[in-house]
């Protein structure tokens, strides 16, 4: 896991359409935030090169690619990502994919994160997708499989963080998206939790995007999140 300070545990999601906007967010948060997530939207708009720039500038990067493919393809992808110097990489928590990724990342500092159940999904969504598990049960099953595979951490809703922490112990990262301050708009997230509750539940890192990136004063928004984390 990375820094135990609040600043080192807050990951700002650069869910923006282009590198210019991402650069503006990073400038606004200079000195307050040092850890950034890059997902599909930015990655496919020059974000992978920007990730390298952030790393060379001393920032930490969480590359949210949610890899899932045949074993060899996953392994080759993980090897390439490890060479970028990013800190975290996600893949879906399928046992064969996780095992291939762990072997490919062996000997590197890359923390592999298993995505359990997306925070935008509820029991009805899982049923429609063909799963017999409710979200909580599926998260716990995948957490057990991730631990057995040797993964570095778990991505789950903060509402499941305590139960996941009981399964994975203290050494694995527990990364929680779906974070909102009390009274704020949940957006398209269906399972949201405040920063302090997420930390108390056992989260090691919080991922926050729109509440900071879309704020009129991004720096103040980030500081509000950090202040709420400190209350934990």
Residue 15 placed within a domain:
yes
pLDDT tens-digit readout, 78-136:
999 999 999 999 999 999 999 999 999 999 999 999 998 887 788 888 888 888 878 88
Q: Which domain holds residue 155?
A: 6-230
Looking at residue 180, what is its pLDDT? 81
Please determine, for residue 155, whether its predicted confidence score (pLDDT) is greater than 80.
yes
Q: Residue 89 forms beta bridges with which residues?
A: 63, 112
Which has the higher per-residue pLDDT, 158 or 54?
Answer: 54
**Residue 53 forms part of a structural domain:** yes
Q: Cα–Cα distance between 7 and 121 in angstroms, integer? A: 28
Is 219 annotated to bind a ligand? Reply is no
Rounded to the nearest 10 degrees, the angle between the axes of helix 135-149 and helix 95-105 is: 40
**Rounded (10°) angle between helices 48-56 and 71-84:** 40
CATH number, domain at 82?
A: 3.20.20.70
Query: pLDDT tens for residues 64-92?
Result: 999 999 999 999 999 999 999 999 999 99
Q: Any known ligand binding at 209?
A: yes
Active site residue 190: no
Q: Is the pLDDT of residue 3 over 50?
A: no
- Label residues 60-95 b or e (16+ Cβ within 10 Å = b): bbbbbbbbbeeeeebbebbeebbeebbbbbbbbbbe
Q: How far apart are the first and last CA of the chain?
A: 19
73 marked as part of a ligand binding site: yes
What is the structure's pLDDT at 131?
A: 85
How confident is the model at residue 170, as a pLDDT? 93
- Evaluate if residue 187 carries a pLDDT over 70: no
Q: Distance (Å, rounded) from C-alpha 26 to C-alpha 184?
A: 23
In a domain, 55, yes or no: yes
Q: With a cut of 80, say whether residue 29 has pLDDT above it.
A: yes
Catalytic choice (59, 66, 122, 125)? 66
Q: How many domains are contained in the chain?
A: 1
Of 18, 28, 59, 64, the active-site residue reads 64
**Residue 189 pLDDT level (bands cut at 50, 70, 90):** very low
Catalytic option among 69, 122, 125, 190: 69
In a domain, 159, yes or no: yes
Instruction: Report the share of the chain in percent with pLDDT over 70.
Output: 93
| pLDDT for residue 23 is more than 80 | yes
Question: Has 72 been labeled as part of a binding site?
Answer: yes
Lowest mean pLDDT among 2-16, 149-163, 193-207: 2-16
Among 189, 24, 173, residue whose Cα is nearest residue 118: 189
**Does the annotation list 180 as a binding residue?**
yes
Phi and psi angles of residue 217, each rounded to the nearest 5 degrees, phi first: -120, 95
Domain assignment present for residue 216? The answer is yes
Active site residue 217: no
28 tagged catalytic: no
6: confidence class by pLDDT, cuts 50, 70, 90 = confident
Q: Do the annotations mark residue 119 as ligand-binding?
A: yes
Residue 100, in any domain of the structure? yes
Q: Is 134 part of a structural domain of the chain?
A: yes
Assigned domain for 1 exists: no
More confident residue, 188 or 62: 62
Average pLDDT, the chain: 91
């Amino acid at each position: 896991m990375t820094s135990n300070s609040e600043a080192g545990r807050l990951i700002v999601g650069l869910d923006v359409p282009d590198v210019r906007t991402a650069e503006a967010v990073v400038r606004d948060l200079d000195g307050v935030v040092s850890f950034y997530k890059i997902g599909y939207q930015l990655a496919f708009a020059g974000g992978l090169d920007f990730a390298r720039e952030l790393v060379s500038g001393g920032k930490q990067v969480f590359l949210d690619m949610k890899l899932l493919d045949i074993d060899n393809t996953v392994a080759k992808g993980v090897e390439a990502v490890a060479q970028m110097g990013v800190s975290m990489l996600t893949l879906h928590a399928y046992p064969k994919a996780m095992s291939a990724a762990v072997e490919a990342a062996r000997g590197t500092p890359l923390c592999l994160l298993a995505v359990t159940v997306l925070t935008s999904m509820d029991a009805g969504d899982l049923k429609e997708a063909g799963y017999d598990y409710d979200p909580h049960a599926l998260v716990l099953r995948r957490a057990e499989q991730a631990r057995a595979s040797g993964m570095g951490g778990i991505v789950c809703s903060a509402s499941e963080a305590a139960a996941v922490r009981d399964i994975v112990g203290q050494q694995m990262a527990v990364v929680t998206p779906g974070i909102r301050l009390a009274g704020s708009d949940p957006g398209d997230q269906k399972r949201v939790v405040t920063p302090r509750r997420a930390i108390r539940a056992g989260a090691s890192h919080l991922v926050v995007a729109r509440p900071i990136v879309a704020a009129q004063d991004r720096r103040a928004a980030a500081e509000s999140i950090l202040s709420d984390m400190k209350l934990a």
